[in-house]
């Protein structure tokens, strides 16, 4: 009888009303994870917060802890030091770490535009005219070595200055950054929203380079520039493929949600502290960066070459290194996740 039933089921699959993805994927090899991030309140990392707040990680069988650091370079240090399993951070770090023979790999893309803005202080540099004016000045970044410092270094290089021609000062990604500008501790700042929009509201800065939209990103970098990703050690990918798939599923689920979410839904979902005391301004800032969010978690083919070219502009050590970009990211997990949440 069992054989007869089995033959019937195999011969007539169309007659069986099985739901899509009825067969569950393998359980995560590592269900408890630490995801390091530098500046969690920023829109740059909003997909991470959405996945956490809406329970998407839990739905994939993951229990995550997300310590927040002052900047992306600090989050990277946590991964290298072993206190974090995963980092939500800038894609550029995967290239820099390969050059140091410490391979890490992106498994899902969060942002398709960096959203970083370089601006000068209207208080300490009211007469600013060109990049050359920044020589010898203090530039506030989330943390030295982070994506904000990389973006500023690239803009400086295009203007004829070296990173060593300025002083990079870590100011974080929240109220500390705003205070640094207000008090005159820095002459310029490379940061993200909602911080930048709040500084603009009070006429504290003059924007000189902006990557919040796809058009502006193309103008600054000359190509698509990947932003935040989830990255891990290459060995982690090899040993924990089901865990990586679960992470990608949660993030793509969040990205899909963000494509449809209205302003009120965003405000209800993020922690109150993210609003920095001004709900309307937070939403205004969100509208400026909405299109920067990846719709599907997939790394664009032209993205990694752009990132490498940009880094080689000001990173002397990278100019002589052979970088295999295919080892800095994989779209395998995001493709499966995108199909699941299509």
Task: Using the 3D structure, point to which of 185, 210, 235 is the last residue of a domain.
Answer: 210
Residues 223-235 have a mean pLDDT of 97
Q: Residue 317: its pLDDT value, please?
A: 86
Residues 94-107 have a mean pLDDT of 97
| DSSP character at residue 100 | T
Same domain as 311, residue 240: yes
Same domain as 89, residue 126: no
Give the separation between CA 318 and CA 307, rounded to whole angstroms: 12
Q: Is residue 267 part of a domain?
A: yes
pLDDT at 202 over 80: yes
What CATH number should be reported for the domain holding residue 243? 3.40.190.10
Q: Is residue 220 part of a domain?
A: no
Tens digit of each residue's pLDDT (9 = 90 or more) over 308-330: 999 999 998 898 999 999 999 99
Q: Residue 342: its pLDDT value, please?
A: 82
pTM: 0.90
Q: Residue 24: its pLDDT value, please?
A: 57
Task: Using the 3D structure, point to which of 210, 242, 272 is the last residue of a domain.
Answer: 210
Q: Is residue 10 part of a domain?
A: no
Q: What is the dihedral of CA 66, 305, 327, 25, to 10 degrees?
A: 60
Give the separation between CA 170 and CA 145, rounded to whole angstroms: 9
pLDDT above 70 covers a percentage of the chain that reads: 93
Task: Using the 3D structure, point to which of 210, 237, 268 is the last residue of a domain.
Answer: 210
pLDDT at 290 over 80: yes
How many other CB atoms are found less than 10 A from the CB of residue 15? 8
Same domain as 106, residue 123: no
Average pLDDT score over the chain: 92
Number of domains the chain contains: 2
Same domain as 160, residue 147: yes
pLDDT at 142 over 50: yes
Q: Is residue 49 part of a domain?
A: yes
Q: Is residue 280 part of a domain?
A: yes
Give the separation between CA 272 and CA 294, rounded to whole angstroms: 24
Same domain as 233, residue 107: yes
Task: Give the domain range for residue 194.
Answer: 117-210
Same domain as 139, residue 102: no
- 311 within 8 A of 96, measured Cβ to Cβ: yes
Residue (of 164, 163, 165, 170) closest to 189 by Cα position = 170
Residues 187-208 have a mean pLDDT of 97
Same domain as 241, residue 197: no
Give the separation between CA 89 and CA 318, rounded to whole angstroms: 20
Same domain as 134, residue 58: no
pLDDT above 90 covers a percentage of the chain that reads: 90
Same domain as 121, residue 106: no
Same domain as 333, residue 237: yes
Q: Residue 260: its pLDDT value, please?
A: 95
Same domain as 335, residue 238: yes
Q: Is residue 20 part of a domain?
A: no
Q: Is residue 181 part of a domain?
A: yes
Identify the H or E element spanning 196: helix 195-201
Q: Residue 218: its pLDDT value, please?
A: 96
Same domain as 202, residue 263: no
Give the separation between CA 89 and CA 75, rounded to whole angstroms: 8
Question: Poorest-confidence range of 33-37, 284-288, 316-320?
Answer: 316-320
Q: Is residue 80 part of a domain?
A: yes
């Amino acid at each position: 009888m069992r054989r007869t039933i089995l033959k019937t089921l195999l011969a007539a699959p169309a007659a069986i009303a099985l739901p899509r993805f009825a067969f569950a994927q393998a359980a995560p090899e590592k269900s408890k994870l630490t995801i390091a991030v530098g500046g969690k309140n920023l829109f740059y990392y909003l997909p991470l917060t959405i996945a956490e707040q809406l329970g998407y990680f839990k739905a994939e069988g993951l229990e995550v802890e997300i310590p927040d650091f002052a900047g992306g370079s600090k989050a990277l240090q946590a991964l290298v030091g072993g206190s974090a399993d995963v980092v939500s951070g800038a894609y550029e770090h995967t290239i820099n770490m390969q050059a140091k023979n410490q391979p890490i790999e992106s498994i899902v893309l969060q942002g398709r535009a960096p959203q970083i803005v370089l601006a000068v202080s209207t208080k300490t540099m009211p007469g600013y005219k060109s990049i050359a004016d920044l020589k010898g000045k203090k530039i506030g970044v989330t943390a030295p070595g982070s994506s904000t410092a990389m973006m500023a270094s690239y803009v400086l290089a295009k203007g004829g200055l070296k990173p060593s021609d300025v002083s990079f000062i870590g100011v974080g990604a929240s109220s500390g950054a705003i205070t640094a500008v207000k008090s005159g501790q820095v002459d310029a700042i490379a940061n993200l929203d909602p911080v930048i929009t709040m500084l603009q509201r009070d006429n504290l800065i003059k924007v000189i380079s902006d990557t919040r939209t796809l058009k502006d990103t193309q103008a600054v970098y000359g190509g698509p520039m990947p932003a935040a990703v989830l990255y891990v050690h290459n060995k982690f990918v090899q040993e924990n493929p089901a865990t990586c798939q679960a992470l990608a599923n949660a993030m793509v689920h969040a990205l899909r949600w963000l494509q449809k979410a209205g302003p009120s839904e965003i405000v209800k979902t993020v922690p109150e502290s993210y609003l920095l005391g001004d709900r309307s301004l937070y939403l205004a800032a969100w509208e400026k960066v909405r299109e920067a969010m990846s719709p599907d978690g997939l790394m664009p083919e032209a993205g990694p070459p752009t990132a490498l070219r940009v880094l080689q502009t000001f990173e002397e050590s990278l100019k002589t290194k052979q970088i295999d970009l295919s080892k800095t990211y994989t779209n395998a997990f995001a493709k499966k996740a995108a199909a699941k949440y299509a």
